[in-house]
Amino acid sequence: MTPDLQATVKDLMPRLTEELKQLVRLPSVAFPGFPAAPVEQAGVAVARLLADAGLPDVRMMDVPGAPQAVFGHRPARDGAPTVLLYAHYDVQPAGPEEAWEGGRPFDPVERDGRLYGRGAADDKSGIVMHAGALLALEDDCPVGVKVLIEGQEEAGEGGIEEFVAANAELLEADVIVISDVGNYALGVPTLTTSLRGMAACDVEVETLEGAVHSGMFGGPAPDALVALCRIIATLHDDAGSPAVAGLATMEYDGAPYDEAAYRTDAGVLDGVSLIGKGSIGQRLYGAPSINVIGIDAPRVDGAANALIPKARARVSVRLAPGQDPADALKAVQAHLEAAAPWNVMIKVTPGTTGEGFLAKTDGPAYAAATQALRQAFGKEVVHYGVGGSIPLVAAFLAAIPDAEIILWGPEEPQCKIHAPNESVDLAELERCTLAEALFIAGLCDAR
């Protein structure tokens, strides 16, 4: 079956490239203030693409507060497993057109084997990859296939998570493939096996009934901003590692992230030290990170000579994969309260939390995915972490707890997703499409 599929996918590439171009031509930006018509047209185009790929029962489904999602289903035969394929058809706004070479972000152009245009990679390449795998497999694979393509990932407000929670039965599958991530580097077959979680809270400090003159009263009375700064300063040790008891750490053993590349990617200024301990990968994907992302205090311009009675900060914590965000939030809250100096009044208000993700790497789907990637790329497969969270992954796991989740796709660092001149490498799209076809075909043998 392998050489056949390889040749089939190769033959499909001109058609898939054309389909991708057609999708890119629709500026399906689902952010408020952008026209709704292209978003709707993109949904219709995706439905047509899936139907043309032989998927029966393709329909548009309502999603709370979001454009309709496209859903299609071919039932499993002979007791074969079912796979659910996910991607999204909305895109990031293009940003300033003059930042794009050629100045037309929704007019796709091929250059040096890459297709340029907003959404060419994120995530319309994922849609085309799913359609391509279905086209390559045709009807002779007994594996059940469900496809869910949503229309509001980039501007998401939780609608799809609600949809997943409300439609657990419809979406029930043995394996869920989320192709909104990608390879560690161009040409390096990669499975994303962990995502960090998050927990945030607001800490407010009060010391005085109101602002008072710093000359007449400064000295004995504590200033709320100084007290808050002392509390914040306890969140890290001198090396910059998180110093909150109860925050978990996981050993990261995936592909490395080169320190110089990290410095460049993050834009760390020359001479500024990196903080924390361990490899960059360990710090990004296996360890928590604590940041203060906002602070309420008087502005410097116009600041009065007065003691500050009240100050507030938002503390945002990224969590090691696998840690329960509620536990982490409690640990941070306890730490902040215990760190308050001088008996100041302190109030910690819990904020949003998000589940991380740690892939099951001992299941049949993980083995089949590894095997398919290795075959399609002709290289050993690496696994990798992602420092952010994908709330949809947690929603799928809550609704369908026994499903194995595979995170992969044609996005790699050169794609510049969310930036001007986004592109996808068409050979990478071909390899990924082949991997997905091999994977689905291989799921039968894996059971």
User: Known catalytic residues?
Assistant: 90, 153
Q: To the nearest whole angstrom, how small is the minimum distance from the Cβ of residue 123 to Zn ion?
A: 4
Q: To the nearest whole angstrom, how small is the minimum distance from the Cβ of residue 88 to Zn ion?
A: 6
What secondary structure does DSSP assign to 337-365, as a single string? HHT--TT-EEEEEEEEEE--EE---SSHH
Residue 180 pairs in a beta bridge with: none
Report how far residue 439's alpha carbon sits from residue 368's, in angstroms, rounded to the nearest whole number: 6
Q: To the nearest whole angstrom, how small is the minimum distance from the Cβ of residue 30 to Zn ion?
A: 12
Q: Which is nearer to Zn ion, 241 or 414 (CB)?
A: 414
Report how far residue 31's alpha carbon sits from residue 8's, in angstroms, rounded to the nearest whole number: 38
68, 152 Cβ separation under 8 angstroms: no
435: tokens are: 């991997």
Q: To the nearest whole angstrom, how small is the minimum distance from the Cβ of residue 153 to Zn ion?
A: 5
Q: Which is nearer to Zn ion, 49 or 438 (CB)?
A: 49
Residues numbered 70-89 forming contacts with Zn ion, rule: CB under 5 A? none
Q: To the nearest whole angstrom, how small is the minimum distance from the Cβ of residue 417 to Zn ion?
A: 7
End-to-end CA distance of the chain: 18
Where does 134-264 show beta strands of DSSP type E? 144-150, 175-178, 190-195, 197-206, 212-213
Q: Which is nearer to Zn ion, 122 or 223 (CB)?
A: 122
Q: Which is nearer to Zn ion, 174 or 411 (CB)?
A: 411
Region for residue 317 given its phi and psi (left: phi exceeds 0; alpha: psi -120 to 50; beta: otherwise): beta
Binding segment for Zn ion (CB under 5 A), chosen from 119-127, 142-150, 294-302, 359-367, is 119-127
Residue 70 pairs in a beta bridge with: 60, 149
Q: Which is nearer to Zn ion, 71 or 89 (CB)?
A: 89
101: tokens are: 């070479």
Residue 217: in which H helix or E strand, if any? Answer: helix 214-217
| 422 binding Zn ion? (CB under 5 A) | no
Q: Which is nearer to Zn ion, 118 or 146 (CB)?
A: 118
Report how far residue 375's alpha carbon sits from residue 366's, in angstroms, rounded to the nearest whole number: 14
Mapped onto helix, strand or coil, the DSSP state of residue 96 is coil
| 150 binding Zn ion? (CB under 5 A) | no
| 90 binding Zn ion? (CB under 5 A) | no
Could you say which of 180, 223, 430, 436 contacts Zn ion (CB under 5 A)?
Answer: 180
| 174 binding Zn ion? (CB under 5 A) | no
Burial of 267 (C-beta count, 10 Å sphere; 0-12/13-18/19+): exposed
Number of residues that bind Zn ion (CB under 5 A): 3
Site string for Zn ion, 123-142 (x = CB under 5 A): x-------------------
| 404 binding Zn ion? (CB under 5 A) | no
Binding segment for Zn ion (CB under 5 A), chosen from 121-129, 205-213, 234-242, 435-443, is 121-129
5, 431 Cβ separation under 8 angstroms: no
Report how far residue 256's alpha carbon sits from residue 239's, in angstroms, rounded to the nearest whole number: 21
Q: To the nearest whole angstrom, how small is the minimum distance from the Cβ of residue 92 to Zn ion?
A: 8
Binding segment for Zn ion (CB under 5 A), chosen from 58-66, 67-75, 122-130, 155-163, is 122-130
Could you say which of 19, 26, 68, 122 contacts Zn ion (CB under 5 A)?
Answer: 122
Q: List residues near Zn ion by CB under 5 A.
A: 122-123, 180
